[in-house]
Structure 1
């Protein structure tokens, strides 16, 4: 966990990725990890010397840190099962919160946390969920192009994800679909399995999903493949009535990694296809900077990018939970998010 004081401009350094407010304190359960994090922050130019808090000293534990009146914002990066309790503790102490995804370990826990925030804290405090894929300029640009009709009316889609545990990493994929598709995911039918003994209870989900009123797609999430590479070369494919779009992380020589949007659409004459036109758009990887920057803008009263909504993050968790439990049965995602079961 790290804590920020009042938002304000600081002298920039070449190593600082965003114009962050001053970092005044760090907390971890162990003294060793707190010092290591503080040293890394100093090296990056985030703070001259943040205060160290840890559970080894009752006078310097989390409660002591949250009692500091000058601290206004908290960034929570902790194990998934532990995060909701710390988010609650920070909000109760009057701090703005940016918490790592997923929003909670399950839908019921997420509903409870969001309900408490809405009823007690929303009027005065900002809480955002840090989902950097949702904030990536490449995925957001793809969503804008789709919404503008670049490939016509959406017919179907496919998302393939390999690597990372299903709840922790899989929500990234669902957040991308939430960002790009013109209508939300509403239903799924899936099977889940495990292919490596050490990854029980599950490491793979294969789902057929419905979105909006008319289109559907396939979502494949796996941490169980035998190789790092995947047979499918495209992570995201959206197909419309006038063409298709793929979006992939791509390494470009001399530039580094980018999100590459590739569009191929038909050109028609008198209603008949005459040729195919291809367009490639590369966007830099800036999701982490965007999610932090938006949070800093929000807590300082500035106009902020519309990302990090806990309810959006809850929808991502709902898809993973449903994907793990479906067993081939159709699951109503809208009902799951509203009722928690």
Structure 2
């Protein structure tokens, strides 16, 4: 059996199967070998192993590890010398302890967002990583696909190239309709969340990450309100915030998982950045199915519009990008993306919208340590 460094997947939920495995498949031979998978139950671990064999076109299913037996549990997996790194795709409240367990075992870690359930525990986790494990050469990155989503990066570049002039204000609308039949809702740890914000935290950090990447200046303050409109989405399903950046731009951020559904969100660009010379939108292309679009509109001196369009087919293109970034970092080619401190800023943004209740929140003070 080959002893070349490989990796393991910890977690066998929907996102592991429907996003991470296809993402790895897109990378082909440019990644290490998948050597094992882990889940709490033998059934779910075995199912993930079978899916991995099919999707990644492996000659055989990777060994499945699960709780309840010292020969097959997580500690047994982490003791393997041929596993160099792990992808942690577990419930939000479970991840911090598993991240530390993996680091203590000498494994590099790519963990799913958010970085932790709340800012305090995230800071504690980052301190321990930076103080104990980073000096040993271990890499920990937070898998925030919106941070490395190719279309978001192209939007960010357009802003930095001055295509819409100086950024003056922005607006984001994320309008989701989650019902009890949703496969995401039926995930037990989402049905009765033991962390703040529920779906707003789980999905909202994506919006914060997109803003962090695209805006030329960091968001420093916000004020907002949060509410629960559908009881089964407790504790919170909707937030509205007004945010300000370090360079004086300001904007409105609306996130809901309790929209009426139907055509409510159709035709609304989720993100709009307005500058002194035009504007830029990032969202679904209305005229091309299954396509995301950056549309840059520049207003000329004679009040005419020059339009540039950048399209990307499909969704979750950031998944293989985040995986590739992580594995390249292990090979010594670190692009600086997905640092836990960046993920901390995304978490702080959402926590502030949940806690503000109309008061001004200083995000820099909230994340200082």
Q: TM-score, normalised by structure 2?
A: 0.84
1:298 aligns with 2:329: yes
Cα distance, 1:7–1:267 mapped onto 2, change above 3 Å: farther
What TM-score results when the alignment is normalised by the length of structure 1?
Answer: 0.90
Residue 335 (structure 1) aligns with: 365
**Which stretch of structure 1 is more off in the superposition, 44-53 or 138-147?**
44-53
Shift, 1:293, TM fit: 0.5
Counting only pairs closer than 5 Å after superposition, residues 209-248 of structure 1 correspond to structure 2 as: 209-227=243-261, 229-230=264-265, 233-248=268-283
Tell me what 2:39 maps to: 28
Q: List aligned pairs for 1:96-245, cutoff 5 A.
A: 96-123=108-135, 124-163=137-176, 165-227=199-261, 229-230=264-265, 233-245=268-280
Gap runs ≥5 in structure 1: none
RMSD: 2.0
Q: 1:275 aligns with which of 304, 308, 313?
A: 304
C-alpha displacement of 1:257: 2.7
Specify which of 284, 295, 298 is matched with residue 262 of structure 1.
Answer: 295
**Unpaired runs of at least 5, structure 2:** 8-21, 179-198
Residues 188/231 of structure 1: CA separation in 2 closer, same or farther (3 Å cut): farther
Deviation at 1:51, TM superposition (A): 1.1
Is the 8 Å Cα contact of residues 187 and 333 (structure 1) preserved in structure 2? yes
Q: Per-residue deviation at 1:46?
A: 5.5
Closer, same or farther: CA 82–58 of 1 in aligned 2, 3 Å? same
For residues 182 and 69 of structure 1, the distance between their equivalents in structure 2, rounded to whole angstroms, comes to: 43
Please give the alpha-carbon distance, in whole angstroms, between the structure 2 residues aligned to 1:319 and 1:135: 19
Query: Which residue in the other structure is 1:6 paired with?
Result: 5
Question: What SS does the aligned partner of 1:121 have?
Answer: helix
Deviates more, 1:64-73 or 1:42-51: 42-51
Q: Distance in 2 between matches of 1:5 and 1:153?
A: 50
Per-residue deviation at 1:281?
A: 1.2
Contact kept? 1:75, 1:97, Cα under 8 Å: yes
In the TM superposition, residue 235 of structure 1 has moved relative to its aligned partner by 0.3
- CA deviation digits over 1:118-151, x for unaligned, max 9? 0111131111000111111100010011011110
| Contact 2:269–2:284 (CA under 8 A) maintained in structure 1 | no
Distance 1:258 1:7, change over 3 A: farther
State yes or no: 1:322 paired with 2:363: no
When structure 1 is superposed on structure 2, of 99-108 and 162-171 the one drifting more is 162-171
Bigger strand fraction: 1
Query: Which 4+ residue blocks in structure 1 deviate beyond 6 angstroms?
Result: none
Q: Quote the Cα distance in structure 1 between the aligned partners of 2:285 and 2:124.
A: 39
1:232 Cα shift? 6.3
State the secondary structure of the residue aligned to 2:304.
Answer: strand
**Equivalent residues, number:** 324
Structure 2 match to 1:58:
70
